[in-house]
């Protein structure tokens, strides 16, 4: 097989890249290890930045998102029994975010790719990326019981932190920066309407809590738990009771709605950046290059930024003959990545209580939150960071 761009991984990054390339008249092949049902069911991020929403609309992939997505003009910070709303449009010149699950983004992009895109091969396991420094890198893969080779002009690895694309970057030129946190998120899905019309981020002495949603009838919520926690150790009523405690407020008008919990899982928390994000003609995107703790809602949006940067750079090369933007891919993406890492780290350390936290640490967290609640500039900095950094 031969194509211009070989894409490893059919998550939102790989699928969106295929769509952007198709719209630019550039052919691609997408290889995905899992089957279609798995890709369309795996639960991941659900907050789309303004830039991500705009890109999906421009790509012709937003019809269902615009019908079913839930636009959010702010979030609520809850601390010391207080409530503070961060008003995104008022603080950012009109920017906002959209609640629309990654699973739904993938379904939409898969349907478009199969209807009017290049080949999308499910259950096609990428085995190795070869020839990164040549003009024609190759992806060895296994599909339908036999091995094959995909010859490309470029390879884009959207195959996560354990995929094969990152291995194409030699160890002697790679640098890894990371932090592992001593806690995770116990996440639930529940068949009950959300208790608030916007996301609630709560800092509490017992630990962090997040109240979110998947739809007008489905609640998504999270609790900070020690690293290594088994979700099965938490009973349903125990989860609701703990959410009630951590979301407590002096406002008598607010109550937590309870309902049947349909899913429980624990997400570990870490920050990770691999540099560089390009070696020769192999480019890394999304989790293959960076991971952020979910507190800042940046993971999916960073991946979108990566593939938009690559697609624009390749289109410019084909139109003008200049490969300057392709050469600058890693540097361009990493500027945005590190800003997202900074913001996600700041949100995580401000809202989560570390196991070794002292009363001094508690007061610092409360002072940070009070600063946001009392200063328009601090409020605006959070709003600008949350709604998204420039894509290119």
The per-residue pLDDT for 24 is: 97
Instruction: List residues with catalytic annotation.
Output: 72, 201, 294, 298, 386
Whether the bond into 276 is cis, omega within 30 of 0:
yes
Model-wide pTM > 0.75? yes
Residue with tokens 């091969």: 121
The per-residue pLDDT for 392 is: 67
The per-residue pLDDT for 86 is: 98
| Rounded Cα–Cα distance for residues 21 and 13 (Å) | 12
Count Cβ atoms below 10 Å from residue 294 Cβ, excluding itself. Answer: 22
Residue 368 tokens, joined: 């940070």
| Rounded Cα–Cα distance for residues 249 and 305 (Å) | 37
Q: What domains are defined for the chain?
A: 5-72+98-177+270-347 (3.50.50.60), 181-268+354-387 (3.30.9.10)
| Rounded Cα–Cα distance for residues 64 and 217 (Å) | 17
The per-residue pLDDT for 12 is: 95
The per-residue pLDDT for 82 is: 96
The per-residue pLDDT for 391 is: 78
Summarised one tens digit per residue, pLDDT across range 22-72 is 999 999 999 999 999 999 987 677 899 999 999 999 999 999 999 999 999
Residues 54-92, buried b or exposed e (16+ Cβ, 10 A)?
A: bbbeebebbeebeeebbebbbbbbbbbeebbebebeebb
Dihedral of CA 372/373/374/377: which sign? positive
The per-residue pLDDT for 306 is: 98
Which residues in the chain show pLDDT less than 50?
A: none
The per-residue pLDDT for 41 is: 87
For the chain, the residue count is 392
Dihedral of CA 147/151/157/161: which sign? positive
């Amino acid at each position: 097989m031969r194509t211009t761009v070989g894409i490893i991984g059919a998550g939102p990054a790989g699928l969106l890249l295929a769509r952007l390339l198709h719209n630019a008249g550039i052919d691609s092949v997408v290889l995905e290890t899992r089957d279609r049902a798995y890709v369309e069911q795996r639960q991941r991020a659900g907050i789309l930045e303004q830039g991500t929403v705009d890109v999906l609309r421009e790509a012709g992939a937003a019809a269902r998102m615009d019908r079913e997505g839930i636009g959010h003009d702010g979030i609520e910070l809850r601390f010391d029994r207080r409530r503070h709303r961060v008003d995104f449009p008022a603080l950012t010149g009109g920017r906002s975010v959209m609640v629309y699950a990654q699973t739904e983004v993938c379904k939409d992009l898969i349907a478009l790719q199969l209807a009017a895109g290049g080949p999308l091969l499910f259950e096609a396991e990428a085995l190795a990326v070869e020839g990164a420094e040549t003009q024609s890198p190759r992806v060895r893969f296994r599909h339908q019981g036999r091995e094959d080779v995909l010859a490309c002009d470029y390879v884009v690895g959207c195959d996560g932190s354990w995929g094969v694309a990152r291995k194409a970057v030699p160890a002697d030129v790679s640098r890894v920066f990371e932090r592992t946190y001593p806690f995770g998120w116990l996440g639930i899905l529940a068949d009950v309407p959300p208790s608030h019309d916007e996301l609630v981020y709560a800092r509490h002495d017992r630990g962090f809590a997040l109240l979110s949603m998947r739809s007008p009838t489905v609640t998504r919520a999270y609790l900070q738990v020690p690293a290594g926690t088994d979700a099965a150790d938490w009973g349903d009523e125990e989860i609701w009771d703990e959410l009630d405690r951590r979301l407590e407020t002096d406002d008598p008008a607010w109550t937590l709605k309870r309902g049947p919990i349909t899913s429980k899982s624990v997400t570990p928390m870490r920050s990770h950046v691999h540099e560089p994000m390009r070696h020769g003609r192999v480019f890394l995107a999304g989790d293959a290059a960076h991971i952020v703790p979910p507190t800042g809602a940046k993971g999916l949006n960073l991946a979108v930024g990566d593939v938009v940067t690559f697609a624009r750079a390749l289109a410019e090369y084909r139109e003008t003959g200049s490969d300057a933007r392709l050469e600058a891919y890693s540097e361009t993406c990493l500027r945005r990545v590190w800003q997202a890492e900074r913001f996600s780290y700041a949100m995580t350390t401000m809202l989560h209580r570390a196991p070794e936290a002292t009363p001094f640490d508690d007061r610092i967290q409360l002072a940070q939150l009070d600063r946001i609640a009392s200063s328009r500039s601090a409020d605006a900095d959070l709003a600008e960071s949350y709604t998204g950094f420039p894509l290119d």
